[in-house]
A = this chain, B = another copy of it.
Amino acid sequence: MNNKLQLPGACLLYFCLSAGVQPADLAHPFDARQVVDLTHALHEDMPFWPGTAPFVIERLADYDKGYRMHRFFLWENIGTHIDAPAHFIEGGASVNELGLDDLVLPVAVIGVQDKAALEPDYQLSVADVLSWEERNGRIMPGGLVVMNTGWHKKFHDPQAYVNQDEAGVLHFPGFSVAAAQLLVERDVAGIGIDTLSLDPGNDLSFPVHRLMLGAGKFQVENMNNLDDLPVRGAVAVIGVLPVKDGSQAQARIFAFME
């Protein structure tokens, strides 16, 4: 045989192997026919946690120079964003260390809008979770469990959204520690909410943060458009900025459905 004639084939095989696609298999594969955007726009008048600072966009150049250019100043917790375990847990994963299985995952939505409208300090209960499971099946391991409080509709009105009383206490709904504990037992990947915090506004000791982040889970705060999600069946794609050492970071979040 002529070795020289064999070379092109070998080279071609090598080329095919070296140029081969090497993507990661999805733990939660999905078929996408429809989409919902779960993100609030970032702007200077958006609500923010009291004691932190508003989002700033500064114009550095405009069309008289041929192009428009800005720079952004933002705390890592403003707007729709992710809390990584490193937010509260020394040695915990930073936002850039969240795995693809955490960022592409099925979503369960537990709606408590009616209760939260009557009681701004409402805490998601174990009974709320169990009632959801009776109707929709068991919470899936590795998924994202989202509490729809209805608060996302107040985001345009920072005073109503933050809802701070004269004594300085915040009033918005959140997860109870017992419900969060049940979700840890269900082995969720994370939890989310459409308010400033997973903990109810009137509890600044952050027990749900400590529990969830301590269990290696992540959190999503200030979610939008939760009314447009099915109670189950959607898959969230969490486009969190991969900030090295970031304990939190802004995210563009889409939910896809068949």
Chain copies in complex: 2
**B76, A69: Cβ atoms closer than 8 Å:** yes
Q: Tell me, yes or no, whether A24 is within 8 Å of chain B by CB.
A: yes
> In the complex, what distance in Å separates the CA atom of A252 from the CA atom of B240?
6
If the complex has contacts A23-B255, A239-B251, A252-B239, are A71 and B70 also in contact, measured as CB distance less than 8 A? no
Q: Mark A25-53, 1 if CB is under 8 A from B, else 0.
A: 11001111111110111110000000001
Question: Which of B90, B96, B238, B241 contacts A241 (CB under 8 A)?
Answer: B241
Q: Tell me, yes or no, whether A66 is within 8 Å of chain B by CB.
A: yes
> In the complex, what distance in Å separates the CA atom of A256 from the CA atom of B35?
15
**A41, B242: Cβ atoms closer than 8 Å:** yes
Q: Tell me, yes or no, whether A77 is within 8 Å of chain B by CB.
A: yes
Give, as a whole number of angstroms, the nearest-CB distance from A109 to chain B: 10
Contacts of A25 in B (CB 8 A): 33-34
| Count, chain A residues at interface, CB 8 A | 74
Question: Which of B68, B237, B252, B254 contacts A87 (CB under 8 A)?
Answer: B68
If the complex has contacts A21-B228, A29-B32, A240-B252, are A67 and B42 also in contact, measured as CB distance less than 8 A? no
Please, which residue of chain B has its CB at the minimum distance from the CB of A89? B63
Give, as a whole number of angstroms, the nearest-CB distance from A99 to chain B: 10
20 A/B residue pairs, CB under 8 Å, sorted by A: A23-B34, A24-B34, A24-B36, A25-B33, A29-B31, A29-B32, A31-B31, A35-B100, A39-B242, A41-B96, A41-B242, A57-B244, A63-B88, A68-B88, A69-B76, A71-B76, A72-B246, A237-B237, A251-B252, A252-B252
